Amino acid sequence: MNKVNVSMEYKVKVVNAVSDVPQATWDALARGEGPFLRYDFLNALEQSGCCNEASGWIPQHLVIEKAAVADQSHANDRSPISDQSLITEQALANDQASSNEEVFSASDESTVIAIIPGFLKTHSFGEYVFDHSWANAYHQHGIPYYPKWVSAIPFTPVTGSRILTREEAPFSGALLALISQAVQSMGEETVSSCHWLFTNARTQKLLGTHSELLTRYAVQFQWHNYEYTSFDSFLNALTSRKRRDMKKTQRKLVEQGIHYRHLCGNEITDEVLDFFLQCYQATYLKRSGHTGYLNEAFFHQLRDTMANNMLIVTAFKHDCPMASALFFYDDSGLYGRYWGALEEVSGLHFACCYFEGIAFAIEKKLPLFNPGTQGEHKILRGFEPIYCQSQHQLFSAPFHDAVASFLQQESEHIVAYFNQAQDVLPFNNDITPTLKTTNTTNPLLAVNNHNEKTI
């Protein structure tokens, strides 16, 4: 077998905005990866100011190209790319990096091998993988934890790919080595650590060759569509007690004159969206003292570019709107994201965010419904526990080893929590669904076999 020359195959560059990559190029790699990895979603986060230096989410995406093409000059280039190369062909060969400004052209779509969405972080908010104790430990020892680099979807704890590639892309050992060196280069230059949050199986496999990465597990709750034909058919899969409880919640709301409208696409008018924003901001302000991480410009840009992937469920009391929930969906599933209400009514959150979401997923024949992170209350409403993963590398060896030990202990509690959640699932014993094995594998085996490498 011929030895692969990494420096002659690929080149990694940093772009400081999604818009520095042609949309056709980005979306070709993100096809089938769900709504949140699409160009339009990430671009809205950046253009609205939700992700910038002021917010502590500084875009620093990695773009991997074929090196032979990446070094060419293009006369008709349209979108500039940052000249901050993490690793270039010349750097890998220990030569001086090229000083030529590099740009994309529309013809570059076939030369981009992979894109890794990433951000420099100056805090740990909006990630939903909680490392504040790690940051505190650094601080106590007089070592800066920030900035750190994360590959994640900001404010969106949804499992997905963090290395966007075409399915047929030849992911050679050379390319994986290049990614590893690029990440290591960041550690040497500016950041304390690198984190890959809510990774899917394919990304985990690609990252698995990097022995320095530690795996952290968590539990979320997800509803699966076992070919239900209606909401009632789903209820019939539950134990009689849980079925009765859910029907009782629905009945009490109906008796108060509460009903719902599902609005998608061009049905999401300015009036509909503005009412959702009023609810979202009021609820955030009441619970957190601020109006939310996401601003009006973000939601309006999404409505303009992704309305066909958006569902707004508005709850009415008689003819007066009182609450609103925003979901995203595509063929991969339904994703509940944001909610707010102008009036607190017992059971309304469950009905608007869960029951109506399940009904919509059944109607559209969507395979799953991810209602958001945390919340044991989801279990008794038919949401099954699943494991999710993140990968971490801390460039300080003592802290890296300490975190590895911590994750080993934490994983034992995660497994116990997962098993407890499974034990109280509300399904009838004779029709209990077969849980998805890819999301329910005991993580202790993986942790023991992987994290101990670095202890």
Residue spans of the domains in the chain: they are: 6-210, 226-366
CA-wise closest residue to 393 among 181, 247, 91: 181
Domain 226-366 bears CATH identifier 3.40.630.30: yes
The distance from CA 206 to its chain's CA centroid, rounded to whole angstroms, is: 17
pLDDT given for residue 111 in this prediction: 84
Tens digit of each residue's pLDDT, the chain (455 residues) = 333 334 457 788 899 999 999 999 999 999 999 999 999 999 999 999 999 999 999 999 999 888 765 454 443 443 333 333 433 333 333 333 333 334 454 335 568 889 999 999 999 999 999 999 999 999 999 999 999 999 999 999 999 999 998 766 656 666 667 776 776 676 666 799 999 999 999 899 888 766 689 999 999 999 999 999 999 999 999 999 999 999 999 999 999 999 999 999 999 999 999 999 999 999 999 999 999 999 999 999 999 999 999 999 999 999 999 999 999 999 999 999 999 999 999 999 999 999 999 999 999 999 999 998 777 889 999 999 999 999 999 999 999 999 999 999 999 999 999 999 999 999 987 655 554 434 556 666 554 444 543 32
Measured CA to CA in angstroms, residue 85 lies from 14, 172, 360, 401 at distances of: 5, 21, 45, 30
Confirm if 187 and 395 have CB atoms less than 8 A apart: yes
The alpha carbon dihedral of 64, 80, 309, 391 has a sign of positive
Amino acid of residue 148 = K
Give the predicted TM-score (pTM) of the model: 0.86
